[in-house]
Amino acid sequence: MPVTKFSTPEKYKYQNGFGSYHETEAILGALPIGSNSPQKPAYGLYTEKLSGTAFTSPRHENQQSWLYRILPAASHTPFVAREATTYNTNPEGEKLHQIPNQLRWDPFDLDLESDWVHSLQLVAGAGDPTMKSGLGILIFAAGKSMKPEEAFYSADGDMLIVLQHGVLDIQTELGWILVRPNEICVIPRGVRYRVELPEGPVRGYILELYEGHFKLPELGPIGSNCLANARDFQAPVAAFDESPEGEVYTILSKFNGHLFTATQTHTPFDIVAWHGLYYPYKYDLGRFNTIGSISFDHPDPSIFTVLSAPSPTVGTAIADFVIFPPRWLVGEDTFRPPWYHRNTMSEFMGLIHGDYDAKTGGGFKPAGASLHNIMSAHGPDAGTHAKASGAALQPVKVGEGSMAFMFESCLMVGVTEWGLKRCQKVQEDYNAESWVPLPKHFVMREGMQKVSNRVDGDATRGAGDIGASVNGKGATAEMDGKSLPHYT
């Protein structure tokens, strides 16, 4: 069924479409007709432009929205530095640790004391938000709603939020969004929002994109449909608050990994109408239309890409968001889990719920994570390999009741001191349990012929006296009834 059955019912209306030009008004007539900035906007509102790209970006990449609000966002006191934060890319002189070891984390703890802003923990990342390059990977675990008179925004990048536990009721400047497990939400750079926790503590993962914006991946020979379809993305409709007399509001800003605050005497959630291409949105992962091989071999995991943030190199991403949903496997004479591989891309994986089909033994759990950095060898653990190698090759549905995901990047991802040590969640025996136990099956037996790579014609190799006779240039050696050419 191409939708998720949620235990928490939806409570808001949305506008549908990824990258669509939307317009919405909470009071009829609030949107101007035929112009963007009239001399006197309707109802005494102020016009404000929110730009997610440079004004001169190509039309197909340009993301801007026009806002019609009670008071402009600029009306606040100066920002001042607040307490030290947990998501600074370089807190107190600490550095990111770029290491080739495979890493895996136990589930991260729920935090009953922190609100959304103070629960954010930078685990890993690459690049620099001041240069608008790279990404950050964060864990959140909050137990309290933000105060009604607070709003938060990140100037560092777009936040792709993957909820693992609980429910997020998010009031954004442009309207409300409800996020439940198996849904994702993207809050663009600069958009102010407040997070309520209607069902208690929450936990999950965030990919913060310092560079560019997320797009739907190109489909190429797949055609015009499948994977994540544009119609299934949902953007909020306009909704606004009015400010009680004498109320003071606090704006919290994540700016180069540091927290700043300012105050104002009006609510930040006062946008009565808006139109444009720059807005928050959400997506139900249960609507992803999975494709795969129906003959043989395991396709590349790129076929599971939901959203992509391309780099200047065609076909290479600063960040891909990839999922591994329930799906049918029918390949003949095929090792069905992912093959062993070393990848020029870094792979950070998380698990929303269920069991991931490429791991056994319970080491990879919901709310946990793993990181296989650039060219770090990985693949199915020993138990999974043994099971898959002997499985009956009949149609089977894998991942039933499960949803794993991956943040993939062309960048070498470094791990913070918190992620490597202070969180105390790193599994020290990950490699020893997963791949060291793999047995050696290869044995050179009598009758096997080993082809020579020598140019002197001496091809006597192998187990016992099983040499292959080579008779000069272009000669062949018999191997399992097939003639194999030799070249000098």
Q: Say which of 118, 266, 275, 298 is annotated catalytic.
A: 298
- Name 323's Cβ contacts closer than 8 Å, sequence gap at least 6: 285, 288, 304, 306, 403, 404, 405, 406
For residue 416, what are its two tokens? 């913070």
Measure the CA–CA gap between 408 and 150, rounded to whole angstroms.
33
Give me the amino acid identity at 433. E
118 annotated to a ligand binding site: no
- Of 228, 224, 207, 226, the C-alpha closest to 216 is 228
Measure the CA–CA gap between 165 and 205, rounded to whole angstroms.
10
Tokens 């272009």 — which residue? 474
Cα angle value 247/248/254 (rounded, 5°):
145
Evaluate whether 418 touches 138 at the Cβ level (below 8 Å): no
- Of 209, 192, 196, 197, the C-alpha closest to 262 is 192
The two counts, helices (H) then strands (E), for the chain are 4, 30
**Torsion angle of alpha carbons 150, 154, 159, 161, nearest 10°?**
-30
266 annotated to a ligand binding site: no
Measure the CA–CA gap between 419 and 97, rounded to whole angstroms.
10
Measure the CA–CA gap between 48 and 70, rounded to whole angstroms.
10
Cα 77 versus chain centre, distance: 35
| 298 in catalytic set | yes
Tokens 């739907």 — which residue? 216
For residue 22, what are its two tokens? 């939307």
- Using CA atoms, how far residue 323 sits from 134, 228, 240, 290, 326, in Å, is 21, 11, 34, 10, 10
Measure the CA–CA gap between 265 and 332, rounded to whole angstroms.
66
From the number of C-beta atoms within 10 Å of its C-beta (0-12, 13-18, 19+), residue 34 rates as: exposed
278 annotated to a ligand binding site: no
Give me the amino acid identity at 22. H
Q: How many other CB atoms sit within 10 Å of the CB of residue 395? A: 9
Measure the CA–CA gap between 244 and 266, rounded to whole angstroms.
8
Alpha helices in 337-477 (DSSP H): 382-389, 417, 430-434
340 annotated to a ligand binding site: no
- Using CA atoms, how far residue 18 sits from 55, 199, 232, 279, 290, in Å, is 21, 28, 8, 10, 18
Cα 98 versus chain centre, distance: 20
Task: Mark the binding-site residues for Fe cation, compressed into ranges.
Answer: 341, 347, 378
Task: Mark the binding-site residues, compressed into ranges.
Answer: 341, 347, 356, 378
List residues with catalytic annotation.
298
Task: Mark the binding-site residues for homogentisate, compressed into ranges.
Answer: 356, 378
